[in-house]
Amino acid sequence: MGSFAGVGNRNLMKLTKYFCCQRKFSTRNRESKNKLVNNIKKLQLLKSGVCEKNFEKGKYMVFSEQSVLLSKNDPLYLILWGSFEGAGEHVADVTKQSVLLSVSGEGNVHFAVRVPVETRQAVQRSFGGEFVSLRTSLFLLSSADSALVSQGWSLLSWGVAARFCEACGGALATAGAGGHKRCSGCGAVRYPSLSPVGIALVTSEDRSRALLVRQHAHPPGMFTCIAGFVEVGESVEENVRREVAEEVGLEAKEIEYVGSQHWALPASRLMIGCIAVVTETEFSLDETELEAAAWCTPREVRNALTRVAGQRGVQSGEPGHMWVPPRGAIAHHLLQHWLTTYHAG
């Protein structure tokens, strides 16, 4: 007794000595030589409390209703980051109205803030940018900027919506620079809600075709990947297998994880992107969910991606032709991944 199973006392002494030696090299709060690690550690500290100086030196992403302030830098758009003083001209108390987002590669602390709708024109004049609808902005920005807009909108929206504790009904007070709230009644800490969604590009066993689908509500001509909420008790693989079976009546034999993305609309979601390989090709549509599905060749997928390249906005593929979600959507990324992985030549 008193020793790990399979480890004799002599070996246990050696093991203890080893761990004690390792501890000597672990110093708390020592600055790392790695810039990314330092920025993440800085953000971790800020989440427990942002001091006045951080607010004053911060950079502010500005929202007005369901739109965000951007600057045009042809052909791309960029987030227009405002100063503390600039934001203060339009918001009564910037430190109380802001939510903490990130620490940039240059070490700048990023916040998001919402300005009153009646100040919209004045903000555009003084900052020099333009307010672009949230949905459109997610397709115009780089993936890094799009992720920040998605995060900012979700945190600000949650800050307004989550007012009372679901356990005791007590009022919730903002803490952690908008990243969580504390109940004034029972002291419980509440975090912003986030729903995981599995999204899968279905491909044939030889990867020669991709099965794209469209829902009744999709804009005319748009086809995309199969997606659905992860249910309680499911793994991502089980979720994808269920969604593919429910929507097109096929069994996914292999599921490969490709990447993930936070998406703010219509509510805060974590999109988990996969490739799902099916061995059968004859599908049967769930007509309550889907309007149509089609097996597409690499050429058809490439043409559909080209049709939405460089567009401003989410709609308007050529009439009569299939098109797919634009750059910025994870479905677009999955289609590009499928082409470059299996059809690069």
Q: Which stretches of the chain bind Zn ion, using CB under 5 A?
A: 165, 167-168, 170, 183, 185-186, 188
Question: Is the preceding peptide bond at 266 cis, omega within 30 degrees of 0?
Answer: yes
Q: How many CA atoms lie within 13 A of 244 on its CB side?
A: 32
- Which of 189-227 are b and which e, b meaning 16 or more Cβ less than 10 Å from the residue's Cβ? ebebeeeebbbbbbbeeeeebbbbbbeeeeeebbbbbbb
Q: Cα separation of 208 and 224, whole Å?
A: 17
> Hey, what amino acid is at 218?
H
The residue among 162 and 294 lying less far from Zn ion, judged by its C-beta, is 162
Pick the closer one to Zn ion by CB: 164 or 342. 164
CB nearer to Zn ion: give 49 or 185. 185
190 vs 218, which CB is nearer to Zn ion?
190
Q: How far from the centroid of its chain's Cα atoms is residue 157's Cα?
A: 15
The nearer residue to Zn ion, 173 or 344, going by C-beta atoms, is: 173
Q: Smallest gap, in angstroms, from Cβ of residue 193 to Zn ion?
A: 16
Q: How far is the CB of 321 from Zn ion (least distance, A)?
A: 54
Return the number of the residue (132 or 165) whose C-beta is nearest Zn ion: 165
**Smallest distance from Zn ion to CB 186, Å:** 3
Q: Is 191 helix (H, G, I), strand (E, B) or coil?
A: coil
User: Minimum distance between the CB of residue 189 and Zn ion, rounded to whole angstroms?
Assistant: 10
In the complex, the smallest distance separating the C-beta of residue 161 from Zn ion, rounded to whole angstroms, is 16
> In 3-state terms, what secondary structure has residue 342?
helix
Residues 74 and 83: their CA atoms lie apart, in Å, by 23
Shortest spacing between CB 172 and Zn ion, in angstroms: 8
| CA–CA gap between residue 304 and residue 210 (Å, rounded) | 12
- Based on its alpha-carbon atoms, the radius of gyration of the chain, rounded to whole angstroms, reads 24
CB of 180 to Zn ion, least distance (A): 13
Nearest to Zn ion of 181, 209 (CB atom): 181
Closer CB to Zn ion, residue 144 or residue 186?
Answer: 186
For the bound state, the minimum distance from the C-beta of residue 159 to Zn ion, rounded and expressed in Å, comes to 17
Q: Which long-range contacts (CB under 8 A, 24 or more apart) does 140-146 make?
A: 140/70, 140/76, 140/77, 140/312, 140/328, 141/70, 141/76, 141/77, 141/78, 141/79, 141/328, 142/76, 143/261, 143/328, 145/78, 145/79, 146/328
